[in-house]
Amino acid sequence: MKIVSTERSQVLAARIAEKMRVPLVYTKFSRFPDGELYLRTGDLDRETLIVGSIVDSDALVQVLLAVDACEGSETTLVLPYLGYARQDKRFNPGEPISARAVAQALSRGVERVFVVNIHDPKVLGYFTVPAENISIASAIGGYVGSLNLKDPLILAPDEGAIDFAGDVAAVGGWESDHLQKTRISGEEVRMKPKHLDACNREVVIVDDIIATGGTLATAAEMLHRQGAASVHAACVHGVLTDGAYARLRAAGIASVVSSDTYENASSFVSAAGAIVDALGRC
């Protein structure tokens, strides 16, 4: 087996290759003069693992091109971050089900697909090949442990993240709880006051995605008003749009960490171990 990565998943692909002790193929990425994407992989093996997060439309095209370049090799596709997954139904007439459109396109030419902490596992059903979700709650829990906080409270910002918070908390035998969230608009979120004994507690808010940071910034401000000793944030996919990192720090969040499913300067947690474990099970 050899591993091919797209441009935005090079670090995670290298970590997976190192753990699996298989070669990482050098792939050259460039553009045609009209701006169209080009790539060229090196020599392939009988089996190929492609690692490529769908962080934007160019990344989606790179995965499609990489799969085509690997024609003739049995290909497993790892999509650490699956962009377009949140438009998973038709909210208004005339809209696409973007998650379905992308999943179906990404199923072509591959044997199986793995994703990491997908927002809604229902999206897995849109792939036309076997698709599996991998959780990196253990890795996030390991990071929380490394912070050496005193009896941390692991907090989900909404009901959708309750199980994830529980899995993170289980790593250290910590308590977990959740807040209630009301989304006012695409960027604005309001937390309903809910009784939480956060006073004097070191709180770690955990979530699948930080996009604009609105959800966590609002939660942090509320927790500070309740007298939390400190507030930290740990998420799987650090999309961090529109100055989200600074927004979170300005909201008094002492540390912000994400994983290498979406590579950026806050990606201190690696999904490589969980991905390699899942690959070993199939």
Catalytic residues: 181
> Least distance in Å: CB of 196 to ligand R5P?
17
Signed CA dihedral, 157, 158, 161, 162: sign only: positive
> Least distance in Å: CB of 5 to ligand R5P?
25
| Of residues 68, 74, 65, 76, the one with CA closest to residue 131 | 76
Of the candidates 212, 259, 261, 270, which one interacts with ligand R5P according to CB under 6 A? 212
Report the residue number, 41 or 212, with the smaller CB distance to ligand R5P.
212
Of the candidates 207, 228, 258, 267, which one interacts with ligand R5P according to CB under 6 A? 207
Of the candidates 88, 167, 177, 208, which one interacts with ligand R5P according to CB under 6 A? 208
Establish if 175 lies at the interface with ligand R5P (CB under 6 A): no
Signed CA dihedral, 145, 149, 152, 155: sign only: negative
DSSP-derived secondary structure letter, 196: -
Task: Give the range of 26-34, 94-102, 201-209, 262-270 binding ligand R5P by CB under 6 A.
Answer: 201-209
Task: Give the range of 43-51, 153-161, 170-178, 194-202 binding ligand R5P by CB under 6 A.
Answer: 153-161
Do residues 233 and 248 lie in contact, with contact meaning Cβ atoms separated by under 8 Å?
yes
If you search the block for the tokens 């897995």, which residue do you land on?
124
Q: Which residues, in sequence order, are CB contacts of 190 under 8 Å at separation 6+?
A: 181, 182, 184, 218
> Least distance in Å: CB of 130 to ligand R5P?
25
- Around Cβ 200, how many Cβ atoms within 10 Å? 12
- Gap between the terminal Cα atoms of the chain: 14
> Least distance in Å: CB of 189 to ligand R5P?
5
Report the residue number, 98 or 107, with the smaller CB distance to ligand R5P.
98
The pair of structure tokens assigned to 157 is 């910002």
215: exposed, middle or buried (Cβ count in 10 Å: 0-12, 13-18, 19+): buried
**Total interface residues for ligand R5P by CB under 6 A:** 14
Binding mask 77-116 for ligand R5P (x = CB under 6 A): ----------------------------------------
> Alpha-carbon distance 189 to 196, whole Å?
19
Of the candidates 50, 214, 256, 271, which one interacts with ligand R5P according to CB under 6 A? 214
Establish if 48 lies at the interface with ligand R5P (CB under 6 A): no
Report the residue number, 31 or 122, with the smaller CB distance to ligand R5P.
122
Of the candidates 7, 58, 74, 158, which one interacts with ligand R5P according to CB under 6 A? 158
Q: Which residues, in sequence order, are CB contacts of 75 under 8 Å at separation 6+?
A: 47, 48, 49, 50, 67, 109, 110, 111
What residues make contact with ligand R5P under the rule CB under 6 A? 157-158, 160-161, 189, 207-215
